[in-house]
Amino acid sequence: MKNIYLDNAATTPILPEVIDVITKTMTDFYGNPSSTHQIGRKSKSLVETARKNIAKQFNAASNEIIFTAGASEADNLILRNAVTNLGVTTIISSKIEHHAIIHTIDNLVKEFSVNVCWVDLDERGGINYTHLEELLQLTEGKKLVSLMYVNNEIGNLLDLKKVSDLCIANNALFHSDAVQGIGHFKIDIKETPIDFFVCSAHKFHGPKGVGFAYIKKGFGIHPILHGGEQERGARAGTENIHSILGMEKALEIACANLKEETTYIQKIKSYFISELKNNFEGIEFNGYSESETKSSYIILNVRFPKEYAMLLFNLDLKGIAVSGGSACQSGSNKGSHVLNALLNEKDAIKTSIRFSFSKLNTINEIDYTITTLKNLIN
């Protein structure tokens, strides 16, 4: 049986070059970076070099990068500090953010009575920038806008520059969960001065359990994990050296080959869209996922013309790994909060599948997937 992996928005396979770096680090550089002996100092030097190299990819300073156990921790660190440390009293966000944002905001509301404003969306989940500007102008006090760069379920792209300009004009802070964008799109914080964004290495062929928070210089960040002075006092805990260096390598590879890989993966996605349209009547695409300009080239969210209750399961039996929504919602019987926010009742009960691609996929795999779908639902 073939094994075809089309769930790269959930996680990506680790590249062999990254595994080599991780293995060598675990074998040769086992010192605690906080130790004063030369073995520890070598580990510290490797961590700080990785920090500098990662920062360079975004035209940032090394002291603006805080290593974390992933993007969810980084989102929590930033949002909680915004309220408890930076004086934010109003958070402006959207109803289709990742749960790392929505659930954190919910908890901040319970703990601190934060004012939350939800920006309007168009019928395909695009941000209504006019309404965002109105919210920024109408709300008083310190404000933070938290909007994700790439929606993890429907692939919609946020205009980072437009939102950044609106926040600057209205004296608001700007945070973006950029998990699905980093390693796939170029971010230059000198051109687009975001105050905060977060990254998770496993979204661009790096290891799981490691990421970082970008925090613009000048913001004093208080830790949410206590117990040590690691990460410049912003996060306690011995550094995950081998994963940090694996992330550094994965990001280096992604950024070095960004143009070529973008072209290749977009070709895969466009071919899949064409084959779906040619072989199935009534196919629709959720969000802007069909668009080459308004959606990530990684993600395609397909809505079939009716409900096929066992389609995900049957695809899995045929060796095709896909997702019905965010992998972070596995086990939930509530369905996708993103699709529930966008679709009417009639469309919401139809089967929707998120296919997400990487440079490791091939046209032959798409052909097999199309054939399999035809056998299962026609």
Give catalytic residues, as residue numbers.
Answer: 328
Q: What element of type H or E holds 187?
A: none
CA distance 201 to 67: 11
CA distance 49 to 39: 16
* 103: helix, strand or coil: helix
353 neighbors 301 (Cβ within 8 angstroms): yes
296 neighbors 155 (Cβ within 8 angstroms): yes
Q: What element of type H or E holds 54?
A: helix 38-56
Q: CB count, 10 Å around CB of 219?
A: 16
* 250: helix, strand or coil: helix
Closest CA to 64 of 247, 265, 288, 214: 214
Closest CA to 211 of 221, 222, 203: 203
**Cα angle: 309, vertex 318, 329; to 5 degrees:** 50
Q: Name beta bridge partners: 146.
A: 175
| Residue ranges of E strands in the chain | 4-5, 65-68, 88-93, 115-118, 142-146, 173-177, 196-200, 211-215, 284-285, 299-303, 320-321, 352-356
Quickly tell me which residue has 């806008």 as its tokens. Answer: 145
326 neighbors 338 (Cβ within 8 angstroms): yes
CA distance 144 to 175: 7
CA-CA distances (angstroms) from residue 211 to 162, 178, 271? 26, 11, 32
Cα 269 to the center of its chain, rounded Å: 19
